[in-house]
A and B are shown apart, each in its own frame.
Chain A
Amino acid sequence: MTKISCRQICFIMLIYTAVSKFIIYPTYLSYYTGRDLLFSALINFAVQGVIVWSVSYLCSRTDKTFFGLLKDTFGNIFARIIFGLFALFFLLATINPLFEQKLYVHDIFYDTVPSLMIFLPVFFFLVYASAKPFLNIGRCADICLPLFLLSMLLILVMSLHEVKFDNFLPVFTQPKKIFSSSLASVFRFIEPAYLLMFMGRFRYKKGDAAKITISYIGGAVFVLVVLAAFYGIYGDVAPTRHFAISKISLFFPAIDLVGRIDLLALYVLEITMLFALVLNIQLAIECIAQCTGYENRAVLSVAVNAVFFLILIFCDNKYNAISTLFSKWMWIVFLIFANLIPLASWFLRKKNEED
Chain B
Amino acid sequence: MKKIKKYVPVLYWAIVVALLGLYFTNDFGLVDIHKTSFIVAVGVDTEEDEVQVTAQIAVPQPSTSGDSINYIEVQGSGFTIADALNEINAKTGTYPQLLFCQLILIGDSCKDKELFQVLGCFYRRNYSELTALVAMCEGKASDMLAKPASIAPENSEGLQKVLSHELEKSGNVTKANLKTIAEANFSESKACYMPYIQMNKPGTSQNGGGDRIGGDDVEQSQSTASGSGQSNGGQGGASAQSGGGQDEPVEFTARKTAIFSEGKFAGILDETQSFALNMLETSVDMAIIPCTVGETEYTIGLKGISGKADFKVEKGVPKLTVTFKANAQVQGAKKVLEPHSVVNDDVVKKEVLDGAEKELKTRFENLIEISRKTGCDMLGIRKQLHKYYYKYYDAFKDDVLNRMEISYKIEVISTN
Count of A-B contacts with CB under 8 A? 56
Complex contact B29–A170 (CB within 8 A): no
Complex contacts, B125 vs chain A, CB 8 Å: 240, 242
Complex contact B183–A235 (CB within 8 A): yes
One of A12-20, A106-114, A221-229, A337-345 contacting the partner? A106-114
In the complex, which of the residues B130, B186, B388 has the most CB atoms of chain A within 10 Å of its own CB atom? B130
Indicate whether A173 reaches chain B with its CB closer than 8 angstroms: yes
Complex contact A250–B131 (CB within 8 A): yes
Complex contacts, A235 vs chain B, CB 8 Å: 183, 186-187
Indicate whether B129 reaches chain A with its CB closer than 8 angstroms: yes
In the bound complex, CA of A250 to CA of B182 (Å): 16
Complex contact A237–B182 (CB within 8 A): yes
105-158 of chain A: CB within 8 A of chain B: 107, 111-114, 117-118, 124
Known: A112-B29, A114-B28. A170 touches B97 (CB 8 A): no
Complex contact A124–B15 (CB within 8 A): yes
In the bound complex, CA of A107 to CA of B97 (Å): 14
Indicate whether B79 reaches chain A with its CB closer than 8 angstroms: no
Q: Name A173's closest neighbour in chain B (CB-CB).
A: B390
Complex contacts, B28 vs chain A, CB 8 Å: 113-114, 117-118
Give the interface size bracket for B toward A: 20 to 34
In the assembled complex, the CB of A320 is this many whole angstroms from the nearest CB of chain B, namely 13
Complex contact B183–A113 (CB within 8 A): no
In the assembled complex, the CB of A159 is this many whole angstroms from the nearest CB of chain B, namely 13
Complex contacts, A118 vs chain B, CB 8 Å: 28
Complex contact A170–B387 (CB within 8 A): yes
Indicate whether A166 reaches chain B with its CB closer than 8 angstroms: yes
Q: Name A171's closest neighbour in chain B (CB-CB).
A: B390
In the bound complex, CA of A118 to CA of B165 (Å): 40
Give the interface size bracket for A toward B: 20 to 34
In the bound complex, CA of A298 to CA of B4 (Å): 10
Known: A236-B187, A250-B130. A296 touches B29 (CB 8 A): no
163-182 of chain A: CB within 8 A of chain B: 166, 169-170, 173
In the assembled complex, the CB of A75 is this many whole angstroms from the nearest CB of chain B, namely 31
In the assembled complex, the CB of B335 is this many whole angstroms from the nearest CB of chain A, namely 42
Complex contacts, B387 vs chain A, CB 8 Å: 166, 169-170
In the bound complex, CA of A165 to CA of B130 (Å): 20
Complex contact B15–A114 (CB within 8 A): no
Complex contact A111–B179 (CB within 8 A): no
Complex contacts, A166 vs chain B, CB 8 Å: 387
Q: What mask results when residues 227 to 239 of chain A are scored 1 for a CB within 8 Å of chain B, else 0?
A: 0000001111100
Indicate whether B308 reaches chain A with its CB closer than 8 angstroms: no
Indicate whether B319 reaches chain A with its CB closer than 8 angstroms: no
Complex contacts, B183 vs chain A, CB 8 Å: 234-237
In the bound complex, CA of A242 to CA of B390 (Å): 29
Complex contacts, A240 vs chain B, CB 8 Å: 123, 125
Indicate whether B1 reaches chain A with its CB closer than 8 angstroms: yes
Complex contact A170–B386 (CB within 8 A): yes
The one of B4, B130, B388 in contact with A169, judged by C-beta atoms closer than 8 angstroms, is B388
Complex contact A114–B29 (CB within 8 A): yes
Complex contact B390–A112 (CB within 8 A): no
In the bound complex, CA of A253 to CA of B390 (Å): 34
In the bound complex, CA of A117 to CA of B27 (Å): 12
In the bound complex, CA of A118 to CA of B29 (Å): 11
Complex contacts, B29 vs chain A, CB 8 Å: 112-114
Indicate whether A251 reaches chain B with its CB closer than 8 angstroms: yes
Q: Name B388's closest neighbour in chain A (CB-CB).
A: A169
Known: A169-B388, A236-B186. A112 touches B31 (CB 8 A): yes
Q: Name B124's closest neighbour in chain A (CB-CB).
A: A240
Q: Name B386's closest neighbour in chain A (CB-CB).
A: A170
Known: A169-B388, A170-B387. A111 touches B31 (CB 8 A): yes
Known: A114-B28, A170-B387. A237 touches B179 (CB 8 A): yes
In the bound complex, CA of A114 to CA of B126 (Å): 15
Indicate whether B30 reaches chain A with its CB closer than 8 angstroms: yes
Complex contacts, B388 vs chain A, CB 8 Å: 169-170
Complex contacts, A298 vs chain B, CB 8 Å: 1, 4
In the bound complex, CA of A12 to CA of B1 (Å): 32
In the assembled complex, the CB of B26 is this many whole angstroms from the nearest CB of chain A, namely 9
In the bound complex, CA of A117 to CA of B31 (Å): 15
9-65 of chain B: CB within 8 A of chain A: 15, 28-31
Q: What mask results when residues 82 to 110 of chain B are scored 1 for a CB within 8 Å of chain A, else 0?
A: 00000000000001010100000000000
In the bound complex, CA of A251 to CA of B180 (Å): 11
In the bound complex, CA of A114 to CA of B95 (Å): 15
In the assembled complex, the CB of A296 is this many whole angstroms from the nearest CB of chain B, namely 7
304-346 of chain A: CB within 8 A of chain B: none
The one of A114, A234, A253 in contact with B179, judged by C-beta atoms closer than 8 angstroms, is A234
Q: Name A169's closest neighbour in chain B (CB-CB).
A: B387
Apart from A118-B28, A166-B387, 8 more pairs, CB < 8 Å:
A169-B388, A169-B390, A234-B183, A236-B187, A237-B186, A240-B123, A240-B125, A251-B131
Binding site for B on A (CB under 8 A): 107, 111-114, 117-118, 124, 166, 169-170, 173, 233-237, 240-242, 250-251, 253, 255, 296, 298
Nearest 3 pairs between A and B by C-beta? Answer: A169-B387, A170-B390, A112-B31
16 pairs, CB–CB < 8 Å, chain A vs chain B: A111-B99, A112-B29, A112-B95, A113-B28, A114-B29, A166-B387, A169-B387, A169-B390, A170-B388, A170-B390, A234-B183, A235-B186, A235-B187, A250-B130, A251-B131, A253-B165
